[in-house]
């Protein structure tokens, strides 16, 4: 089943990050806690600018890429990225193919029981329509009876399903939800007229708006923390400690501000949140 899933999402071969650990430092994580000695192997879905994307030269860019590279320096590990669509990430990590997930994944209680999650930012869901669309969406209730595109297996998909199911349970209508592999596909479906609306992570929506592709009609839905996630607890603890140091020296805020995203609240420590796998 897992191999089939990987074929469906066309997982790329591991591509080495330009960030290489300093040979003079001592790794903060022992090799027995890593998939490969001296390497931190992370999955990433580079279709969500400005969190992560591929530039015109084919290079990975974005906040989560810079986070990972900075973590590599501080942990004295080289960083490698595995490019894949989101649905394959948790199975890949839990089967021992990856050390962690680095794709701006929303923290949820259910996910926190599957892996060791370290929140490192805040995001929400935005509703967008095609730039020329006359459709008015004043509240989430206006989604009822309309079609909406979402990324499969995403926080947005789960939020919309719960909202639609609750509407039906109260005697109202449903939202016609259509799922797609990536945010790029979601936007493409919207622009092709296949759906009335699309639900995107707010930073991805703002990027699309800035390019004149869509317009945002509703935001701030389902606000929650986003997180990196790891297979081993000791790796998650080391990453949390590195983020704490990054906050203290100002580099964390500088990176978040550079890409226009939202920092983790100052009173929330960087730490494993949730029980982790049992």
Per-residue 3-state assignment (H helix, E strand, C coil) for the chain = CHHHHHHHHCCCCCEECCCCCCCCCCCCCCHHHCCCCCEEEEEECCEECCCEEECCCCCEECHHHHHHHHHHHHHCCEEEEEECCHHHHHHHHHCCCCCEEEEEEECCHHHHCCCEEEEEEEEEEEEEEECCCCCCCCCHHHHCCCEEEEECCCHHHHHHHHHHHHHHHCCCCCCEEEEECCHHHHHHHHHCCCCCEEEEEHHHHHHHHHCCCEEEEEEEEEEEEEEEEECCHHHHHHHHHHHHHHHHHCHHHHHHHHCCCECCCCCCCCCCCCCCCC
Q: What is the pLDDT of residue 24?
A: 76
Q: What is the pLDDT of residue 21?
A: 52
Cβ atoms 26, 76 nearer than 8 A: yes
* Dist. CA 92–CA 172, nearest whole Å: 39
Supply 256's token pair: 């978040």
Using a pLDDT cut of 70, give the percent of the chain over it.
92
Q: What is the mean pLDDT of the chain?
A: 92
The sign one gets for the Cα dihedral 191, 192, 198, 200 is negative
* Dist. CA 106–CA 199, nearest whole Å: 14
For residue 12, pLDDT beyond 90: no
For residue 3, pLDDT beyond 80: no
Domains of the chain: 2-123+225-258 (3.40.190.10), 124-223 (3.40.190.10)
pTM (2 decimals)? 0.89
Q: What is the pLDDT of residue 259?
A: 95
* Dist. CA 248–CA 14, nearest whole Å: 32
Residues 122-164: pLDDT tens digits?
Answer: 999 999 999 999 999 999 999 999 999 999 999 999 999 999 9
Using a pLDDT cut of 90, give the percent of the chain over it.
91
Q: What is the pLDDT of residue 57?
A: 96
Residues 228-244: pLDDT tens digits?
Answer: 999 999 999 999 999 99
User: 9-13, 60-64, 91-95, 134-138: which range is least confident on average?
Assistant: 9-13
For residue 95, give the nearest of 155, 30, 43 by alpha carbon: 43
For residue 242, give the nearest of 62, 29, 22 by alpha carbon: 29
Cβ atoms 105, 226 nearer than 8 A: yes
């Amino acid at each position: 089943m897992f191999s089939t899933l990987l074929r469906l999402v066309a997982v790329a071969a591991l591509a080495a990050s330009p960030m290489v650990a300093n040979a003079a430092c001592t790794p903060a994580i022992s090799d027995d806690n890593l998939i490969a000695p001296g390497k931190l192997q992370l999955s990433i879905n580079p279709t969500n600018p400005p969190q992560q994307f591929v530039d015109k030269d084919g290079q990975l860019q974005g906040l989560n890429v810079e986070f990972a590279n900075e973590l590599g320096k501080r942990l004295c590990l080289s960083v490698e990225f595995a490019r894949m669509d989101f649905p394959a990430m948790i199975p890949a990590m839990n089967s021992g193919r990856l050390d962690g997930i680095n794709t701006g994944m929303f923290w949820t209680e259910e996910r926190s029981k599957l892996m060791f999650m370290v929140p490192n930012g805040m995001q929400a869901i935005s509703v967008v329509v095609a730039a020329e669309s006359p459709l008015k969406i004043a509240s989430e209730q206006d989604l009822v009876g309309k079609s909406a595109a979402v990324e499969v297996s995403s926080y947005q998909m789960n939020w919309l399903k719960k909202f639609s199911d609750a509407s039906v349970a109260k005697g109202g209508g449903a939202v016609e939800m259509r799922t797609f592999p990536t945010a790029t596909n979601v936007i493409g479906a919207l622009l092709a007229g296949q759906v009335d609306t699309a639900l995107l992570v707010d930073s991805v929506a703002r990027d699309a708006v800035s390019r004149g592709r869509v317009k945002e009609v509703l935001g701030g839905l389902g606000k929650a923390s986003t997180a990196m996630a790891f297979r081993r607890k000791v790796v998650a603890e080391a990453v949390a400690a590195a983020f704490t140091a990054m906050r203290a020296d100002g580099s964390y805020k500088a990176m978040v501000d550079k890409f226009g995203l939202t920092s983790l609240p100052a009173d929330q420590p960087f730490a494993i949140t949730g029980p982790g796998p049992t």
